């Protein structure tokens, strides 16, 4: 298998956690977004939208982290990263939280990162405040979902994995995800016990323009 990825990309990080959890080996092909590698014709042939991550498994090319995670779950079901087939409500819950992570959390933390990376005089203070408020609300929502539960959807799953990349760097952006949110505090500790997350590369504050 080959994974085309840019190490700081949170969606690529999701896929690399899934690959590590399933014990799958792969060749990492770095697509440096800062150098425009995503616009090269050979990469566009794999993903016409020019976005990482892209997984190539023999004759199969898959892009979008959620679809890649589903593909890996279908092809390499052990250990499972979704609740069992038949537990439809729990599977829907896991997918819902994975989608919330991707569309309502990771992207907004990325936008905050990008805004904060500007020289102080060029930052949009209102936008920063709006993003911070949104992220705080999402964290409270997440903390509520974790009430009485170790994981977001009954067992460690793609739902938890989706939040890991951007939640782990929030402190560096001046937001403490665990402050007054004891359930998140415990959840972070559980995440950091996993080798797939301990060994994850690229979990740093690096703004990405095309997220
Ligand atoms: N929904 C996609 C989002 C992927 C995405 O936004 N990738 C960004 C980097 S984190 C990218 O490749 N941007 C390049 C560009 O837009 O030029 C997924 O989950 O894989």
Domain boundaries, the chain: 2-75, 88-198
With the most atoms of ligand 1 within 8 angstroms of its CB, the residue from 8, 9, 49, 104 to mutate is 9
Please give the model's pTM, rounded to 2 decimal places. Answer: 0.97
CATH class for the region spanning 88-198: mainly alpha
Query: How many A from CA of 109 to the centre of ligand 1?
Result: 14
Q: Active site includes 63?
A: no
CB of residue 38 inside a 6 A radius of ligand 1: yes
Helix axis angle for 158-167 and 10-21, nearest 10°, is: 130
Q: Print the SS3 string covering 50-108.
A: CCCCEEEECCEEEECHHHHHHHHHHHCCCCCCCCCCCCHHHHHHHHHHHHHHHHHHHHH
Distance CA 73, CA 71 (A): 5
Tens digits of residue pLDDT in 16-25:
999 999 999 9
CB of residue 111 inside a 6 A radius of ligand 1: no
> Residue 209 above 90 pLDDT?
no
Tens digits of residue pLDDT in 25-50:
999 999 999 999 999 999 999 999 99
Tens digits of residue pLDDT in 119-128:
999 999 999 9
> Residue 205 above 90 pLDDT?
no
> Which ligand 1 atom is the nearest neighbour of the CA of 107?
6
φ/ψ of 14, rounded to 5, equals -55, -50
Q: 59 falls in which pLDDT band (50, 70, 90)?
A: very high
pLDDT at 77: 98
pLDDT at 144: 98
Tens digits of residue pLDDT in 90-139:
999 999 999 999 999 999 999 999 999 999 999 999 999 999 999 999 99
Q: What is 2-75's CATH superfamily? A: Glutaredoxin (3.40.30.10)
């Amino acid at each position: 298998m080959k994974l085309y990825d840019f190490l700081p990309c949170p969606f690529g990080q999701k896929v690399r956690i899934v690959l590590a959890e399933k014990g799958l080996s792969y060749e990492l092909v770095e697509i440096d977004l800062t150098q425009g590698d995503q616009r090269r014709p050979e990469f566009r042939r794999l993903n016409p939208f020019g976005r990482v991550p892209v997984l190539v498994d023999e004759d199969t090319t898959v892009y979008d982290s959620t679809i890649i995670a589903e593909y890996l779950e279908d092809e390499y079901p052990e250990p499972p990263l979704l609740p069992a087939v038949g537990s439809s409500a729990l599977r829907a819950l896991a997918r819902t939280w994975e989608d919330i992570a991707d569309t309502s959390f990771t992207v907004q933390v990325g936008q905050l990162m990008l805004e904060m990376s500007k020289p102080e005089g060029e930052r949009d203070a209102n936008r920063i405040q709006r993003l911070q408020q949104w992220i705080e609300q999402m964290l409270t929502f997440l903390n509520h979902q974790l009430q009485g539960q170790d994981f977001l959807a009954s067992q460690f799953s793609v739902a938890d994995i989706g939040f890991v990349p951007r939640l782990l760097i929030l402190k560096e952006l001046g937001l403490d995800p665990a402050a007054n949110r004891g359930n998140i505090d415990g959840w972070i500790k559980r995440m950091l016990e996993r080798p797939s997350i301990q060994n994850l590369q690229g979990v740093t504050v690096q703004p990405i323009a095309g997220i």
